[in-house]
């Protein structure tokens, strides 16, 4: 009887632990993580906010904490999450604040099963001008205002427009054409953010292993697709994976271990 009681107690304890894990916003998704992070900042709970960040971002957040002590306020009012854009293991969660109608966003990345906020020093030290032309420190991870986008973000917006409305086969073949000519910069236009990183890790000076190819067939299922192709003179079929981004446009999905 004692053994049964002990087993029941252990089971109850495990259920409590499991329930606690289920409340972890970082395991629920990027939107929940961003909301928990912004809420902590709104309440000046910087130590709590740091728990939702990458290791490097925690140091940057300490800098903003100093600004807060000088009178800067992350929002000056409530905030509302407006949308979420997923790109593989990366995401942007957009929000607006009561004191500023401009849409801003929080960058996140997935590490294992948890989402983490990414914040650079530039994000923490952006300033804005008030109606009197005076500059004041304000919390601004990233503005969706096109005039304030970074060069890389402007580039990615351009690439999204390039991919817009094109079929999975068109995107896949444009990507392979670029790889065939060892033009990684061109290939990045048709790839997801994480795939662009994988391409950057490849040697740009090396000769492409893809001399020529022929598309055999396309396989599509929901938000994902496969372009099946054969290289010239080869019998083996190869696969190029694609997926839809947050805007419904096709993009190539690859990892650093993929060799095309």
User: Does residue 32 sit in the same domain as residue 141?
Assistant: yes
- CB count, 10 Å around CB of 215? 14
Q: Domain range spanning residue 177?
A: 159-253
Please answer whether residues 32 and 93 qualify as being in contact, where contact means their C-beta atoms are separated by less than 8 angstroms.
no
For residues 124 and 180, membership in a common domain is answered with: no
Average pLDDT over residues 175-197: 86
Range among 75-89, 90-104, 157-171, 199-213 rated most confident: 157-171
**Strands annotated E in 75-211:** 79-87, 90-97, 100-111, 114-118, 127-129, 135-137
Q: Is residue 1 a part of any domain in this protein?
A: no
Residues 6+ apart with CB under 8 A from 73: 138, 139
> Within a domain: residue 154?
no
Residue ending a domain, among 116, 149, 182, is: 149
CA proximity to 238, closest of 214, 256, 222: 214
pLDDT > 60? residue 190: yes
Check if the beta carbon of residue 124 is closer than 8 Å to that of residue 138. no
Number of domains in the chain: 2
3-state helix, strand, coil in the chain (%, to 5): 40, 30, 30
36 in the same domain as 142:
yes
Quick one: pLDDT band at residue 197, thresholds 50, 70, 90? Answer: confident
123, 149, 175 - which closes a domain: 149
From 77-81, 142-146, 153-157, 211-215, the region with the lowest mean pLDDT: 142-146
Residue 114 belongs to a domain with what CATH number? 3.10.450.50
Split at pLDDT 50, 70, 90, the class of 132 is very low
Residues 124 and 191 in one domain: no
Same domain, residue pair 31 and 136: yes
Q: Which residue has the tokens 């994976």?
A: 241
Report the distance separating Cα 34 and Cα 246, nearest Å: 17
Q: Residue 45 belongs to what H/E stretch? A: none
pLDDT digits (tens, 9 = 90+) for 205-226: 454 567 789 999 999 999 999 9
């Amino acid at each position: 009887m004692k053994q049964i009681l002990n087993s029941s107690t252990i089971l109850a304890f495990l259920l409590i632990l499991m329930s606690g894990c289920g409340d972890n916003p970082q395991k629920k998704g990027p939107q929940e993580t961003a909301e928990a992070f912004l809420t902590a900042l709104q309440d000046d709970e910087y130590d709590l906010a740091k728990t939702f960040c990458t290791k490097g971002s925690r140091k940057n957040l300490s800098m903003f904490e100093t600004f807060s002590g000088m009178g800067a306020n992350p929002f000056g009012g409530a905030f509302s999450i407006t949308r979420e854009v997923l790109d593989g293991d990366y995401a942007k969660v957009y929000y607006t604040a009561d004191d500023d109608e401009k849409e801003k966003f929080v960058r996140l990345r997935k590490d294992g099963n948890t989402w983490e906020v990414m914040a650079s020093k530039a994000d923490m030290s952006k300033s804005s001008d008030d109606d009197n032309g005076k500059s004041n420190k304000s919390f601004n991870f990233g503005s969706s205002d096109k005039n304030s986008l970074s060069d890389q973000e402007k580039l990615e917006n351009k690439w999204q427009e390039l991919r817009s409305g094109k079929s999975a086969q068109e995107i896949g073949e444009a990507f392979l054409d670029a790889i065939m000519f060892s033009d990684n910069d061109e290939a990045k236009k048709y790839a997801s953010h994480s795939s662009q990183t994988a391409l950057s890790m490849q040697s740009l000076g090396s000769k492409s292993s893809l001399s020529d190819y022929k598309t055999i067939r396309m396989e599509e299922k929901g938000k994902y697709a496969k372009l099946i192709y054969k290289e010239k003179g080869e019998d083996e079929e190869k696969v190029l994976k694609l997926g839809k981004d947050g805007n419904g446009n096709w993009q190539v999905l690859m990892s650093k271990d993929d060799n095309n």
